[in-house]
Structure 1
Amino acid sequence: MTASMLFGAFLAALLYVLIPGPAFLALLGIGAGQGGKAGALFLGGHLAGDLVWSTLALVAIVGAKTIGTLVFDVLGLFCGVYLAWIGWSALTARRRTEGEAMVTVERPLRRGLIFGLTNPKGYPVALATFTALLASSSNALEFKALPTLLGASFCGFLIADVILVSIIGAGLVRRFYRRHELAIVRASGLLFMGFAVQAVWHAAPGLFGWRKS
């Protein structure tokens, strides 16, 4: 287990939560309409989904490594393409209709739990993000490292949740986000494109026979 692997898992979990997406937008709506407590409950429920999808992603990544580097390289290539697609969608996003009403959530904890476990993008985004950030350490990935990697990921999730809870519900944040929503989404698209390049960069040598044995 190397420090770069732990940091990669931690950073992947942190960015998985912080990068704007469906859950981020749902949290913003709940925090803006019902305050930080409701937002924290939503995140508490959503954490279960984060852990499930990150666990499955890490199992898939480590499993691909034990099967062979070719599987991992193909996985990395597909993840890079998927990240590029997400990034391009964000970069070409258009401004939404103004004046959309905030929806009041009676049980934000339950809503977060359901949202986290049923989000169809949860697994592929987790898989793509973790693959991009752990690809450089693929040769050292083993199943015995899973508990430690999950521990680092859990720390990343918690810190990201604390960051979000500390800022949601503030009038200044709400106004800033609404004013610059399109720019924020496109900036996240650039970040996804960067991850895509990294994933393909690490996958290409193995796929095209450039990697030294």
Structure 2
Amino acid sequence: MQLGIHDIPLFIVSGLLLNIAPGPDSILIMTRSATQGWRAGSAAALGIGAGTCVHVLAAALGLSALLAASSWAFTLLKWVGAAYLVWIGLQMLLARRRRDGEAASTSGEAAASVALPLRKVFVQGFLSNVLNPKVALFFLAFVPQFIAPDAPHKALAFIVLGAIFNFNGMLWCHFLALSTAFASARLRVGGALAQWLNRAIGALFLSFGLKLALSER
């Protein structure tokens, strides 16, 4: 079936370059990998991928176009997304190491304070992505460039391209999770360093949230 998709190689290369560009999603994956290991980083990546699926389907069904056209809807989602990023940042900034009557003797014990269950890491990745209205507008602006104006099944073509973009993005995100966990293990990130890393990343997420809140459409 002819979908009217064109310039697939350019789409794939452009998508990979866009995924490699640093942002809140990449920072979240690296933070979880550095403090909890590659499984946590992969859980965050899968959550981000699930959020991307929501954006792709919304754009294909026209919901993102409604978001782009509605000032109040965009503003509402922007403020919710900004509040969530700020909340993540504050959680990281205010995290304290747990003490069970005595100081932790190993880096694993010392890092327990910043550890989250993998289910919660997945949800964190999902919400940080799906609540960002700029991701929705990105798909509306980027993907249609690779669909012919006379394509017979534009929504299906959009979903196919979105799936390709998300698949390539997941390859990069899981590579980022594995490489960050490997580098963290080689550098022997201990509890104190993990705590300060968590606080630094928390400040970064706080800045992301404030930047989103203050941004224009």
* TM-score normalised by length of structure 2: 0.57
2:94 aligned partner: 92
Residue 172 of structure 1: aligned partner: 186
Gaps of 5+ in 2: 1-10, 110-116, 145-154
Q: Which has the larger radius of gyration?
A: 2
Do the aligned partners of 1:10 and 1:152 also contact (CA within 8 Å) in 2?
no
The percentage of aligned residue pairs carrying the same residue is 17
For residues 169 and 24 of structure 2, the distance between their equivalents in structure 1, rounded to whole angstroms, comes to: 5
Whether 1:194 aligns to 2:202 is no
1:120 aligns with 2:123: yes
Instruction: Give the aligned CA root-mean-square deviation in angstroms.
Output: 4.3
What is the distance in 1 between the residues matched to 2:124 and 2:43? Answer: 17
2:37 to 9, 21, 27: 27
Alpha-carbon deviation of 1:151?
3.3
Residue 111 (structure 1) aligns with: none
Indicate the residue corresponding to 1:81 in structure 2: 83
Counterpart code for 1:92: L
Aligned counterparts of 1:45 and 1:118: Cα–Cα separation in 2? 6
Structure 2 SS opposite 1:94: coil
> Does the 8 Å contact 2:107/2:190 carry over to 1?
no
Cα distance in 2, alignment partners of residues 96 and 117 from structure 1? 19
Question: For residues 121 and 10 of structure 1, do their structure 2 counterparts lie closer, same or farther at Cα, with a shift above 3 Å needed?
Answer: same
Q: How many residues align?
A: 177
Over 3 Å counting, the alpha-carbon distance change for 1:45 and 1:186 in structure 2 is closer
Shift of 1:154: 3.4
Compute the displacement of 1:124 (Å): 1.2
1:54 to 42, 52, 56: 52
Which blocks of at least 5 consecutive residues in structure 1 are unaligned? 29-38, 104-113, 207-213
